[in-house]
Structure 1
Amino acid sequence: MNQHDLLNVRHASVNEAKIAMSETLEKRASNYSLDAALYNDPHMFRIDMEEIFQKEWLFVGMSSEIPKKGDYFTVEIGQNPVLILRDADGNINAFHNTCRHRGSVICTQHRGKVANLVCPYHQWTYDLKGNLLFAGTEMGQEFDTKQHGLKAAHCKTAGGFIFICLAETAPDDEFHDFLSTLNDYMEPYDVENTKLAVESTMIEKANWKLVIENNRECYHCAGSHPELLNTLLEWDDTEDPRAPQDFLDHYNAQAAQWDKEGIPHKLKSFGAVQRNRIVRMPLKKGTQVMTIDGSAASIKTLGRIQNRELGSMRILHLPNSWNHMQSDHFVVFRVLPVSAQESIVTTKWFVHKDAVEGVDYDPEKLRRVWDATNEQDKILGERNQRGVNSIGYQPGPYSNTFEFGVINFLNWYSNTTRNNLSSNNLSSNNLS
């Protein structure tokens, strides 16, 4: 078998896997968990990476992480290293972190600051807009630097959130409306005047969908998250069918105070199955923020916020982020797949940029609740993965009241994957 034949076999195998996934998703019951292969098979994982993480908008970080020109951070989207940096005009750009010479990674550190981007392999040099400035005389007089700038990825910011898309053409559908609303809802926080206080990275030995599913329900909270439930009210929003009247009364009282300050709070959702949603929810009576005792995490509140009982503004962005915005700090979460059964969960805590560590805030107090919650969720996710791997596993039913968020997520995942696969014109007739 020659190389051409091998490539044809490989192409057929990949196509067959995509067709199998599409058919599996089409037949699935929407209120049941997925077939095991969609949680643990490397071929299915590859399709997730190609059809979701290389085609959809992903949350990568906050604009205040790179406040000045030349500031950057890096992120790995599967096998795709990406560079996020602020240029001399103050714009935030995303580039594939791979040199146009021989493909070496250019920025090898997680974050830093540069005047220009210099590849450490052969010193090819790019400006902050990705233009190739220097390739050396060795390339010859006919070499055109203008044809060898860094390859850009789509990049958008809203309310301090940075989103990227690796697709050639980025989907916009309802995303524009979400970004516009995100700008409005994040205005009180003045994100540009915040700073990264603490960051944690955790490897969870579970498929990325299991990580997200766990986040999309609080059915497990009472038995697993005592620290979180010191302040968190488990109701998903004001339309949660489980929410009792005393919660609704508490919400209405808090909302009246938020209205006085002009703080947005009403539920906004985008997409047929709530891919993106924003809602402000009160915390337990007598608590201010998500610390172990509910007391302030930082002396300085954020932006124009005065009312410390601001609750938590919850922001969801599928496929990879959930977030909690509070009066004196906010917490953002990012999930990125590593393999079929491994994910990276990154958590970042932000405070006012003038807040002084050890004086205005204690990092340990700031992070204690979510460090504990993340570790508890890691254990749950890894147990879930081990059980799914069993030959005894078969898809099980979700609760329509307690787990409707999970149902929404998997419906979004199923619809998006199938739509993206269908755009590839897959059929059993093109396997040759």
Structure 2
Amino acid sequence: MAERLGDADSVERYGVAGLALGRRISYDVKANWKLIVENFMECYHCATIHPELTEVLPEFADGLAAQYFVGHGAEFAEEARGFTVDGSEGFDRFAGIADEQDRRYYAITVRPQVFLNLVPDHVIMHRMFPLAPDRTLVECDWLYAPEVVASERDLSKSVELFHRVNSQDFDACERTQPAMDSRAYRDGGVLVPSEHHIGAFHRWVTDHVPTPEAEECP
């Protein structure tokens, strides 16, 4: 996490361990888990398939991936009052976050199979469970301050934003999955310099995840 934000304390300020579960949605995605990770780490697709997200985070419409820049958080649109599906006001910001973290979205890939999405008033966490080479169960949790959950306030607008993002992303991954059977994709395809962070993920997979050939070796 320090590698992503440049400061491990930046994550601690959100107090993730003390947050309460507001909503959990499970997605049965017909795609390999590594493809889902790649999708999360880049944003070329954001302008074309994430209209709600780019309304709240306009820099994503330019294809900028938050994870490309160490310590960078995508700034909310000036007119957005919260990280919600319609830009309406959310909840009180977490007491521990710094002023420079307010009205910012941070995305973190915790290798191998966890995503953290940090915004001022809630945290969205994805966990992936590979079921087959072309199928992954993704559990997505929306976490809030305990008092927000206890108050039974309406969470739907903050949940709906990333539920739509998830559905859009997973549909894209499912449509991309068939091409992964190509021999050209054996080593992860072709990357450009701006995808250095995805290249680092490929190297991590190569170093840490056994291949069938390696498992057969004595």
Q: Same fold (TM over 0.5)?
A: yes
Partner of residue 31, structure 2: 206
Quote the Cα distance in structure 1 between the aligned partners of 2:3 and 2:200.
Answer: 19
| Gap change, CA 1:292 and 1:408, over 3 Å in 2 | same
Give yes or no for contact 2:20–2:145 (8 Å, CA) kept in 1.
yes
Give yes or no for contact 1:203–1:343 (8 Å, CA) kept in 2.
yes
Partner of residue 184, structure 2: 394
- Which amino acid counterpart does residue 196 of structure 1 have in structure 2? L
- The reply to whether residue 348 of structure 1 matches residue 141 of structure 2 is yes
Give yes or no for contact 2:68–2:197 (8 Å, CA) kept in 1.
no
Give yes or no for contact 1:387–1:393 (8 Å, CA) kept in 2.
no
Tell me: higher relative CO, structure 1 or 2? Use CA pairs within 8 A at least 6 residues apart.
2
Give yes or no for contact 1:314–1:324 (8 Å, CA) kept in 2.
yes
Q: Which has the larger radius of gyration?
A: 1
- Which amino acid counterpart does residue 42 of structure 2 have in structure 1? E
Quote the Cα distance in structure 1 between the aligned partners of 2:116 and 2:82.
Answer: 14
Give yes or no for contact 2:66–2:107 (8 Å, CA) kept in 1.
no
- The reply to whether residue 319 of structure 1 matches residue 144 of structure 2 is no
- The reply to whether residue 221 of structure 1 matches residue 73 of structure 2 is no
Structure with greater helix percent: 2
Superposed displacement of residue 306, structure 1: 7.8
Aligned residue for 1:189, secondary structure, equals coil
Number of equivalenced pairs: 208
The one of 416, 421, 425 aligned to 2:208: 416
- The reply to whether residue 295 of structure 1 matches residue 96 of structure 2 is no
Partner of residue 108, structure 1: none
Q: Mark the runs of 5 or more structure 2 residues left unpaired by the alignment.
A: none
Task: Say what the alpha-carbon RMSD is for the aligned residues.
Answer: 3.3
Cα deviation per residue 1:115-152 (whole Å; 9 max; x = unaligned)?
A: xxxxxxxxxxxxxxxxxxxxxxxxxxxxxxxxxxxxxx
Quote the Cα distance in structure 2 between the aligned partners of 1:237 and 1:370.
Answer: 16
Quote the Cα distance in structure 2 between the aligned partners of 1:365 and 1:315.
Answer: 22
The one of 158, 161, 165 aligned to 1:366: 158
Partner of residue 56, structure 2: 231
Identity %: 24
Quote the Cα distance in structure 2 between the aligned partners of 1:374 and 1:204.
Answer: 10
Superposed displacement of residue 194, structure 1: 2.2
The one of 4, 10, 20 aligned to 1:195: 20
Aligned residue for 2:158, secondary structure, equals helix
Quote the Cα distance in structure 2 between the aligned partners of 1:324 and 1:297.
Answer: 16
Superposed displacement of residue 193, structure 1: 4.1
TM-score between both structures, scaled by the size of structure 2:
0.79
Quote the Cα distance in structure 1 between the aligned partners of 2:53 and 2:67.
Answer: 20
- Which amino acid counterpart does residue 236 of structure 1 have in structure 2? A
Quote the Cα distance in structure 2 between the aligned partners of 1:177 and 1:238.
Answer: 10
Quote the Cα distance in structure 2 between the aligned partners of 1:388 and 1:193.
Answer: 39
Quote the Cα distance in structure 2 between the aligned partners of 1:190 and 1:368.
Answer: 23
TM-score between both structures, scaled by the size of structure 1:
0.42
Superposed displacement of residue 303, structure 1: 3.0
